[in-house]
Chains A and B, each alone.
Chain A
Amino acid sequence: MTAPAVEFRAVNKWFGSAHVLRAVSLTVARSERIVICGPSGSGKSTLIRCVNGLEPYQGGTVRVEGRDLTPARIPSVRRAVGMVFQHFNLFPHLTVLENCTLAPIHGRGIGRRAAEARARDELARLAIADLAARYPGQLSGGQQQRVAIARALCLDPAVMLFDEPTSALDPEMVQEVLDTMTDLAGRGMTMLCVTHEMGFARRVADRVVFMDEGQIVEAAPPEAFFDRPAHPRTRDFLARIL
């Protein structure tokens, strides 16, 4: 039996005296698609940042593909985990192609030609091959976010983390990013998405996780989660956003 893709065991984290993650446990199987939702400040983003060591935590364990997230292992785990941010965080001083080849060339030691060929493939698959020579500042928000997804995919990640990928987008651009993510889910990628796009959650997620005040309140397949929410807080949250 293979180890789960990501495993949180009783993870605790404090910002100063604020207890932001309270004994969170969650096991994500390979190829599983998890959507995490919840009110702002509930610890959703903090939780997925623990997966690739962007946030230190003070108690419990996080395992990625069976490997404990010790400081020495963080670099290798980061290479196995792709991340997409709310504000894209493309590198504005580099072209789209250079954004996609920077980490493969300098982090992985892949040759420039191979890295560029790979990046062009990835861009073509997301239907943005024609943007390769542009700078991020010349792209729309939706295009930037798709480039950010391509940039992460160039490293062959086993797990993809999405931190509110559509929250900073104009409404008419949300769909193109969601379509890209749906497409990615269809390819069997393990995904942890923090998002408020409940349509996407219903269509794509294997499980929807609801967090509040640093803990997981309810985790269920989408039909059960949306049609028969068990916890009153979940019902309350869904009533407010749907």
Chain B
Amino acid sequence: MTRVRETLLPPAPPPRRTGGPAGWLRTNLFSGPGNTLTTLVILAGLALLLPPVFRFLVTDAVWSGNSGEACRPEVAGRAVGACWAFVGAKINYLVYGSYPAAERWRPNLFFGLVALGTAWMLWLDAPRRGLGAVFVFLVGPLLSYGLLSGTAVLGLAPVATSLWGGILVTLVVSLVGIVASLPLGILLALGRRSELPVLRYACIGFIEFWRGVPLITVLFMANVMLPLFLPGDLTVDRLVRPLVGIALFASAYMAEVVRGGLQAVPEGQGRAALALGLTRWQAMRLVVLPQALKVVVPGIVNTLIGLFKDTTLVSIVGIADFIRVLEAARADPRWSAPTIPATAYAFAALFYLAVCFSMARYAAFIERRLAAGERGRA
């Protein structure tokens, strides 16, 4: 027996959602005993944790004052939380370190250059992004160096790097790490996959060496041991030495991230590019590398976040980075009050959290966007 449908059914609308906020709560938070318990435990934890934090940071905080007196409970006549007046009074020192006050426009201009370069690179539809890359990886660093340390050509008075400090130094150290480690890491990853044995083993040796030593050792070597090996009249700047160490250290990690991406690109892609008459280098640059880097955006950002936080270690070898000037500032006897240390560390935490969280959010945005661009990719 054959049965034939005479009329085709039109598409039916989807069933109505179990609606309203109450329905959402029921399905997402209290759908079963396990889920309900989890929800309650987490809510209880938040209820325990959040009010004291909020009280410390906002309600009980002291917002203005000229010295540590304002932040003493016996003077204020109430419980005292964070002493934001301290941060307000020290903010110039925290941002510029001992950079001469009259020359602070130079770090400000540098911050402007950084903002410009960042926006140029991160805004995907920006005009002339190729030019932006040249700016970020070549012109920007050179210009910043001339600007901050002073050059006769520009008519700028020299400022010794020992005077640089605070967020300025943290930014310089991490940017040098980022700007150097990306291209270096890519080159190392390509070298590690090269068919030339000498190049390959050189890259493997380099990567494994830098991955195998702790960053703190690298920094000590750079600052304490290196001068012993150099001829007496040859000195390398005290800030530049750890900078080089961090850049090489970070590029080894970056190389491994990029290598993971290269392995994720199917072999047929390179083969197809070669079959079209492109050279090996063009196939790598135009076909394989763009796909590899897209795959490892989360890994790259993860490495960069780690690098940004690792820069605090330079404070141990005497570089006046953000953490170090914060320590110095809170040792000021004029600003001695019970909550000053906690305030300083809370401020540092908020600073690092804000920067790292922005990086993570940007990475998430990039991933979403790439996913949208290649929807249903085979």
Contacts and interface: CB of A to CB of B under 8 A. Distances in A.
A68 to B, nearest CB: 18
B284 to A, nearest CB: 12
Interface residues of A, number: 30
Nearest to A154: B276
Given A91-B269, A106-B286, A135-B373, A75 B378 contact: no
Secondary structure at the B interface, as helix, strand, loop or mixed, is helix
Interface in B340-378: 373-378
Nearest to B370: A93
Interface in A154-211: 155
Contact of B374 (A54, A137, A144, A155): A137
Interface in B287-337: 287, 290-291, 294
Interface of B: 266, 268-269, 271-279, 282, 286-287, 290-291, 294, 373-378
Given A135-B375, A138-B375, A103 B276 contact: yes
B373 A89 contact: no
A59 interface: no
A126 interface: no
Nearest to B278: A107
A78 B271 CA distance: 11
A75 B276 contact: no
A194 B294 CA distance: 34
Contacts of B268: 85, 87, 89
A75 B269 CA distance: 17
Interface of A: 52, 54, 75, 78-79, 81-83, 85, 87-93, 102-103, 106-108, 135-138, 141, 144, 151-152, 155
Contacts of A102: 273, 276, 278, 286-287
Nearest to B271: A54
Given A85-B268, A89-B271, A89-B272, A103 B376 contact: no
B277 A93 contact: no
B210 to A, nearest CB: 30
